[in-house]
Amino acid sequence: MQNAEAKIPPATDRFRSREELAAALDHILSSPADEGVVRALVVRPAAGQRQMAEEVTVSAQGGVHGDHWAKGCWLSTEDGAPHPDVQVCIMNARCIEAIAGAAENWAAAGDNVFVDMDLSPANLPPGTRVAIGTAELILTEQPHNGCQNFIDRYGRDACLFVNMGPGKANRLRGIYGRVVRDGTIRRGDVMRKIP
């Protein structure tokens, strides 16, 4: 794992406008449907901390190893354990690139995996299994929405872009996955649907 931490808020040159983001929508929505390349990986050691990684280990027990999910997160099971339905956060790489520009600005979004793939519910409905590296995930129903932190880091227009209209319908803010087969994910690996 690399030690470089993303600045929060990110060092983008400026926040993108709604018009700029709308102009990128066709490109984002043309992401591959059946398999896509992992363009970035991020571990969140603690709240407000981000580390870009070349590879991560994932497990049903620990989620993304080194990530704060295993220490407790915003969603818990009845017994107080971190909820497995929010173990791994996944976002469309074309979308974050349109919002944040250079890859060094992506980590602040708070997602673990940025992949060039169509994450819409029509293409990847909840319950879909995906292989990614040597691991397998099942995609969950838990909604992933832009929040005040997203606004602070990327601007109000970016949050509206992912939370409303086509952005919401196509889950441009991202999706969650639960680990069903432990493994390793590397930048450049392919994520693919399992029939």
Determine the pLDDT at residue 158.
Answer: 95
The model's pLDDT over 101-116, given as tens digits with 9 standing for 90+, comes to 999 999 999 899 999 9
How is the chain split among helix, strand and coil, in percent rounded to 5? 25, 25, 45
Amino acid sitting at position 87 = Q
| Greatest Cα-to-Cα distance within the chain, rounded to the nearest angstrom | 46
Determine the pLDDT at residue 12.
Answer: 59
Amino acid sitting at position 77 = T
Please tell me what DSSP assigns to residue 77: -
Q: Map out the domains of the chain as residue ranges.
A: 18-193
Contacts of 86 (CB under 8 A, 6+ apart): 69, 73, 74, 75, 140, 142, 176
Contacts of 64 (CB under 8 A, 6+ apart): 43, 56, 57, 58, 87, 88, 112
Determine the pLDDT at residue 138.
Answer: 98
Sign of the C-alpha dihedral computed for residues 190, 174, 124 and 67 taken in this order: positive
Q: Give the pTM.
A: 0.91
Per-residue pLDDT of the chain (195 residues; tens, 9 = 90+): 444 444 454 445 679 999 999 999 999 999 999 999 999 999 999 888 899 999 999 999 999 999 988 887 777 778 878 878 999 999 999 999 999 999 999 999 989 999 999 999 999 999 999 999 999 999 999 988 878 889 889 999 999 999 999 999 999 999 999 999 999 999 999 999 998
Determine the pLDDT at residue 47.
Answer: 80
The CATH architecture annotation of domain 18-193 reads: Beta Barrel (2.40)
Determine the pLDDT at residue 13.
Answer: 65
Joined together, the tokens standing for residue 129 give 């299994």
